[in-house]
């Protein structure tokens, strides 16, 4: 199995099959990350497609100071940001309802409802916090890598992750969830 760097070198030399190999290697991670950010399968697929298209177009600008995946995630996250911003403009956001019964964790209810509740809480997070949680929790990325993916420092990535976890924790506590 060729390392990423070698596939990138070959791609830059015009070897499409080498780039296709990179796509196969990372398409699932990119798609699932996009899905976790936008919560829509169709849009996640579009974002994944666009991520690889832009990566192909801009491969030469990849300077190999970070891992290829980190660079890919950066493109993915930019596209997710654009999409979330667009959808926020089109849809009136539902304000967080602290004491609203619909905001309570249906602890004894269906698992599906619990997950829907959690997704609503995640959707209320600012973009960078949401992205930091997604990359840290599901991709096991270091804060340094998250920083590269979000265009910020590792310290900033850590702060965003911390804020996100604390907000979710407070939401859980408010909801009256029995731990």
Partner 1 sequence: VNCRKAQKLLIDFADQSLAGTARKELETHLAQCEHCRTELAHIRTVRENLLSLETPEPGADFWEEFDRKLSQKLDAEGTSRTPAERVSGVLVWRPRVAYAAAALTMSLIAVLVATAFFILQRPPQPATELPVIARETHDSLALYPANDRLEFFAQHGFESPERSLADLSEEELAVLEEEMFIVIGPDLEPASQAMVPEEIYEYTVYDMLDDLSYEDIETLCKELGLT
Binding site for partner 1 (CB under 8 A): 11-14, 16, 19-20, 23-24, 27-28, 31-32, 35-36, 41, 45, 48-49, 52-54, 56-63, 65, 71, 74-75, 78-79, 81-82, 114-115, 118-119, 122, 127-128, 133, 136-138, 148, 151-153, 155-156, 159, 161-163, 165-166, 168-169, 172-173, 177, 179
Return the half-sphere exposure (C-beta side, CA atoms, 13 A cut-off) of residue 48: 23
Query: Smallest distance from the beta carbon of 100 to partner 1, in angstroms?
Result: 19
State the maximum Cα–Cα separation within the chain, in Å, rounded to a whole number.
59
Structure tokens belonging to residue 95? 């304000």
User: Which one, 1 or 24, has the nearer CB to partner 1?
Assistant: 24
Evaluate whether 80 touches 47 at the Cβ level (below 8 Å): yes
Query: Smallest distance from the beta carbon of 91 to partner 1, in angstroms?
Result: 19
Query: Smallest distance from the beta carbon of 65 to partner 1, in angstroms?
Result: 7
Evaluate whether 117 touches 105 at the Cβ level (below 8 Å): yes
Q: Alpha carbon 128 to chain centroid distance?
A: 9
């Amino acid at each position: 199995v060729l390392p990423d760097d070698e596939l990138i070198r070959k791609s830059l030399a015009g070897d499409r099959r080498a780039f296709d190999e990179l796509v196969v290697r990372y398409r699932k991670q990119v798609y699932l990350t996009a899905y976790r950010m936008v919560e829509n399968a169709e849009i996640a697929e579009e974002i994944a497609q666009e991520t690889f298209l832009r990566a192909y177009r801009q491969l030469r600008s990849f300077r190999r100071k970070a891992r290829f995946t980190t660079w890919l995630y950066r493109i993915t996250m930019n596209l997710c940001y654009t999409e979330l911003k667009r959808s926020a403009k089109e849809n009136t956001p539902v304000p967080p309802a602290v004491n609203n019964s619909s905001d309570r964790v249906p602890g004894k209810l269906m698992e599906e409802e619990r997950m829907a509740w959690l997704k609503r809480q995640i959707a209320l997070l600012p973009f960078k916090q949401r992205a930091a949680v997604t990359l840290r929790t599901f991709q096991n990325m270091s804060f340094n890598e998250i920083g590269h993916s979000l265009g910020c420092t590792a310290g900033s990535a850590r702060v965003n992750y911390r804020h996100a976890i604390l907000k979710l924790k407070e939401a859980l506590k408010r909801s009256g969830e029995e731990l």
